Amino acid sequence: MTAKLPGGARSGESPFSTLALAWYLFFRLFFITLLLSGTILFQFRGQAEIWTPSLALLYVLIGTSYLHGLISAFLLRHQVRDSLFIHSQIVWDLLLVTLLIFATGVAESLFPSLYILIVLSASVFLPAREIFFVASASAILYGSLLNLQYYGYFVEGLGISLMYPLDGRDVFYAVFVHVTAYLISSLLGASLSSRLQRSQEELQQQRIDARELETLNRAIAANIRSGLMIVNPQGRIRAFNRAAEEMTGFKLLDIYDRLIVEQFPNIEVYDQKPLLVPRGEGTVLTADGRELTIGFSSTLVDNDAGDPLGLLVTFQDLTYLKKMEQGLKRADHLAAVGQLAAGLAHEIRNPLASMSGSVQLLLEETDLQQEERQLLSIVVREADRLNQLLTDFLAFARPADPDLGEVDLACMLNELVELNEADQRFSAVTFVRDYPESLVACVDLRQVRQALWNLMVNACEATPAEGGTVRVAAGGSPLWIQIEDNGPGIPHELQTRIFDPFFTTKERGSGLGLPTVHAIIEAHGGRITVQQGRDSGTVMRIELSSSEGECGQNEDVL
């Protein structure tokens, strides 16, 4: 069974404040020291006898009180603050005051009012019911002393003057006055105890609420997926949550107290003073050198006194969304180009075929001069080239749906590498193969072969004339293919345009090779990205969602 203690604590839980108990022991020893000093002055400067039994009893009480104080301080230092400890202190005080009153003549004593101090002291540590017990004990002890003196039960052999008769009215008056004072003190003490208990409970609840709120705030700041950053009024970074660290790669210790205009110059929330930005976009460089597009907003943060603490900046990574936005724009553009291509197919290909056929008929004439025959051959050749360009354009603008089947990409890559190695144009190119012996995927054989062929030719053409290296790598889960060259690379500002139709950096390129590759990969539900190579070259990376087993019960591996 547990007894309820002040502040909602329970017995055995060390509910009493160490500081309050220390002050309690200090004031008791202070009073005992005053009593000792007064006794010594009375003994050596007064007219009384040098040594009397009363003085002897006082010295014994004072010495015992010092010993008790030292023991109590030792226990308190060792965190003994339970209910038994404080109850023993109150009992000792009652006993000490009772003996002190006895030693100083009971009815003539000046110390019965000390019971009031005991009652008030108990109100600091004990609940209201026990305070009344302390007051009742004080009244009983003092009344008993007066009754014993009144009826002459104290023997003269003690050497203390308690034998003279007392008037009954004086005894009744003394008991009435002091008992009333003790009871009134207990009422005041109970009221004080109740208020103190409520204050302690409210304070404890506020502390709990504050800790829970702080824990909640820390949990929110640590687990929210948006980046949070605190910038002080001087523009220096003071806080950086976990999401911000994961997003940028910087730890708080790395950027603490740095100027935001230096660390993140494109997050425009500070210009000589904090700026309120409802919504903005900018770029940041991560710790590993990547560029992120972020959306951010800022708001002022004040403390409890209303003084500004700085700016709270929240931001999110929009890089993927921006890429999706660019993809949607490209898809809209391709849709428009597809509609245009349907009209061009009828308006250009048919007349072009008629022109080519007519010229070929003219070439069959035997009376043509050599110069005329050569000019007509040029017309036929250029007509074929235009027809091929139009075919490529139509394949890019209106790609056919993939005819999926299980294909061993490793065999396909081997064939393409061998074809390029046999090409005299690329005799100085060294091919590095980095893929497993078998890599089965569910793709359109013809379309994927065309896409990989275009990428390999581009990589070979990008290598230095004196010789270069093309690395072909692939893997699974999910399926990916990389073709890397050691050429000069693609400038960063052009990387977002290389998949646009008719954009090319080659002198004789049509600008439809990479857009066609992009359309094929997207038709397979994958994506193609361009990255910086390890040797300042270019890495074209294809990621496909199709893998072995997704073609159902189709044909065998091609």
Arithmetic mean of pLDDT, 510-535: 81
Tokens of 252: 């708080």
Residue 231 backbone dihedrals phi, psi, to 5 degrees? -120, 125
Query: What number of other Cβ atoms are within 10 A of residue 511's Cβ?
Result: 16
Q: Does the pLDDT value for residue 204 go beyond 70?
A: yes
Q: Quote the pLDDT of residue 54.
A: 64
Nearest to 86 by CA among 118, 63, 113, 132: 118
| Average pLDDT for 266-285 | 81
Strands 479-485 vs 468-475: parallel, antiparallel or unpaired: antiparallel
Per-chain mean pLDDT for the chain: 77
What superfamily would CATH give domain 225-317?
PAS domain (3.30.450.20)
Pairing of strands 429-434, 468-475: parallel
262: number of Cβ within 10 Å: 11
Q: Is the pLDDT of residue 14 over 50?
A: no
Query: If you average pLDDT over residues 452-470, what whole number do you get?
Result: 87
Classify domain 405-544 at the CATH class level: alpha beta
How would DSSP label each residue in 407-446?
A: EEHHHHHHHHHHHHHH-GGGTTEEEEEES-S--EEEE-HH
Residue 551 confidence (pLDDT): 66
pLDDT (0 to 100) of residue 364: 75
Confidence of residue 291 (pLDDT cuts 50, 70, 90): confident
* Alpha carbon 473 to chain centroid, angstroms: 38
pLDDT-derived band at 160, boundaries 50, 70, 90: low
Q: Average of pLDDT values for 318-338?
A: 77
The two three-digit tokens of residue 66, written as one number: 């010092």
| Tokens read off for 58 | 């006082």
φ/ψ bin of 407: left (φ > 0), alpha (ψ from -120 to 50), beta (otherwise) = beta
Mean pLDDT of 167-172: 76
Query: How far is Cα 519 from Cα 454, in angstroms, rounded to an integer?
Result: 13
Predicted confidence (pLDDT) at residue 486 exceeds the cutoff of 80: yes
pLDDT band at 557 (very low <50, low <70, confident <90, very high): very low
134-144 exposure pattern, b = at least 16 Cβ within 10 A, e = fewer: bbebbbebbbe
Strand order in the sheet with 308-317: 237-240, 227-231, 308-317, 291-302, 280-285
Query: What confidence tier does 398 reach under pLDDT thresholds 50, 70, 90?
Result: low
Give mean pLDDT, residues 166-192. Answer: 79
Say what the pLDDT of residue 166 is: 67
Pairwise CA distance, residues 453 & 459, whole Å: 10
Asked whether the predicted pLDDT for residue 552 surpasses 60, the reply is no
- Which stretches does DSSP call E strand in 203-264? 227-231, 237-240
Instruction: Inform me whether the pLDDT recorded for 8 exceeds 50.
Output: no
Q: Are 433 and 472 in contact (CB under 8 A)?
A: yes
Mean pLDDT, residues 492-512: 73
* Residue range 281-290, pLDDT digits in tens: 888 888 888 8
Question: Angle at the Cα of 538 (from 533 to 543), degrees rounded to 5?
Answer: 90
What pTM was computed for the model? 0.42
pLDDT, residue 4, reads: 37
- 408 contacts 440 by C-beta, under 8 angstroms: yes
Structural contact between residues 186 and 131, judged by C-beta atoms closer than 8 angstroms: yes
Query: Cα angle vertex 462, ends 393, 434, to 5°?
Result: 100
The pLDDT tens digits for 106-129 are: 777 777 888 888 888 787 777 778
Q: What 8-state DSSP symbol labels residue 273?
A: S
- The pLDDT tens digits of the residues spanning 417-427 come to 888 888 888 88
Report for 79-88, 202-211, 313-322, 378-387: range of highest mean pLDDT: 313-322
